[in-house]
Amino acid sequence: MKNFNPTNPLNPQKRVRKYKAHVSALGTTQLHLRNPYIIAWWSAAFPGFGHLLLSKYLRGYALFIWEIFVNNMAHLNQAMVFSFTGNVQMAKEVLDPRWTLMYIPVYIFAIWDSYRTTVDMNRVFLLAERENADFNSYVIATLEINYLDKRRPLNAIVWSLFTPGLGQLYIHRVVTAIFTMFFIIIFVYFSKILVAIHFLFLGDIHQATQVIDTQWLLFMPSHYGFAIYDAYVNTVENNKLFESEQRKFLKENYQQYRVKIPKINE
């Protein structure tokens, strides 16, 4: 109980149990209602993404790096490409069973844990929403300034389409932005997709298909989709949080002082 702080930092006299948001120099972390099936689907698309959508960063990073490492060692993406093209025998030969069998339980855990965590966090959000405790909406630190503000979800989508991570920078989701931008560089470099595009512009389709590395290429669609979805959803939810904070502030500080016009008896 020594580390438990039952008071609201903005109002030491008010005891609170749960906050629904926290604004820091690295981003805005908040609770909001999420669909557990959608979060589980993102974990199925790429282990770690479901947890990152929940702002469970350490767990998400661990599962994400596990996916890249073990998938590469098992040659799972290459086997998927061979399966999609009807070459089942080649898919069987390229798979490494030592790493494939290790991959399966963690993959299932990522889906299950993200679903379970989403259900729990939805319950916590409902309790926090009911308590409606104050939270900080502005922070100024040595490296960054962050504050709640309304932004356009469409802008977040467009910037994410240009380069994954830019949409997160637009809404000041710095940790996810750095993570997303770093790994899109890794995927683009090792997949050699830009080299393949170069050959396509030259009309050399055969060379373009030969140079590309499908093992790394298959990481990119999920990565792009996650960057777009995460930027859009968090922009929408940040806008809701901004409105909620403004509504509460105006109600507590101005509504009680409304002007009452006396009725004149003639």
Per-residue pLDDT of the chain (266 residues; tens, 9 = 90+): 344 455 555 555 456 778 888 888 888 888 899 999 999 999 999 999 999 999 999 999 999 999 999 999 999 998 998 888 888 888 888 888 889 888 999 999 999 999 999 999 999 999 888 888 888 888 888 888 988 899 999 999 999 999 999 999 999 999 999 999 999 999 999 999 999 999 999 888 888 888 999 899 999 999 999 999 999 999 999 999 999 888 888 887 776 666 565 666 65
CA distance 159 to 21: 25
Residue 224 in contact with residue 164, Cβ under 8 Å? yes
**In the chain, what is the greatest distance between 2 CA atoms, to the nearest angstrom?**
98
- Report yes or no on 5 lying in a domain: no
With tokens 């308590």, the residue in question is 131
**What is the domain extent for residue 49?**
17-257
- Report yes or no on 101 lying in a domain: yes
Locate 63 and state its tokens: 């599962």
- How many structural domains is the chain composed of? 1
pLDDT at position 171: 92
Q: How many CB atoms lie within 10 A of CB 107?
A: 19
CA distance 246 to 55: 24
Residue 28 in contact with residue 21, Cβ under 8 Å? yes
pLDDT at position 7: 53
Task: State the helix-helix crossing angle for 36-45 and 220-253, rounded to 10 degrees.
Answer: 150
Residue 20 in contact with residue 128, Cβ under 8 Å? yes
- Report yes or no on 215 lying in a domain: yes
End-to-end CA gap in the chain: 66
- Report yes or no on 3 lying in a domain: no
Contacts of residue 121, defined as CB under 8 A and 6 or more positions apart, other chains included, come to: 31, 34, 54
- Report yes or no on 12 lying in a domain: no
28: Cα separation from own chain's centroid: 12
- Report yes or no on 164 lying in a domain: yes
- Report yes or no on 263 lying in a domain: no
Locate 162 and state its tokens: 């240009």
Tell me the sheet residues that pair with 138: 147
Locate 82 and state its tokens: 């061979």
pLDDT at position 208: 87
